Amino acid sequence: MNTLLVVMIGQVGCLTLVVILASVFLGLWLDDMFGTKPILTLVLLFAGIPLSVILMLFVSRRTLARLKEQNESKEKDMQEADFGTTKT
């Protein structure tokens, strides 16, 4: 369980970093192409913020669903094991 949460935090951090860096570099390149020095960089940077939040929510929901499935599977296995060892 702890490993899965650490992986989720790592994925969210990496995705946020990738979105921000892509926004900055794409914005700088577009500003250089069109001669609008800070405008497109700032627009893409501010557009990247909601995108990174949406990606963070998507990754978190997917990871939590996987965690829930693992817990349900473990509980089912434990119930089956308890059922097999009880005497009537």
- 43 in any annotated domain: yes
52 in Cβ contact with 17 (< 8 Å): no
- 48 in any annotated domain: yes
- 4 in any annotated domain: no
Tell whether the model's pLDDT for residue 86 goes beyond 70.
Answer: no
* Residue range of the domain that includes 47: 37-68
12 in Cβ contact with 64 (< 8 Å): no
Number of domains, the chain: 1
- 83 in any annotated domain: no
- 7 in any annotated domain: no
List, for residues 4-63, the tens digit of each pLDDT value.
888 889 999 999 999 999 999 999 999 999 999 899 999 999 999 999 999 999 999 998
- C-alpha to C-alpha distances, 13 to 20, 31, 55, 58, 68, nearest whole angstrom: 11, 27, 10, 13, 22
Model confidence, pTM: 0.76
Tell whether the model's pLDDT for residue 88 goes beyond 60.
Answer: no
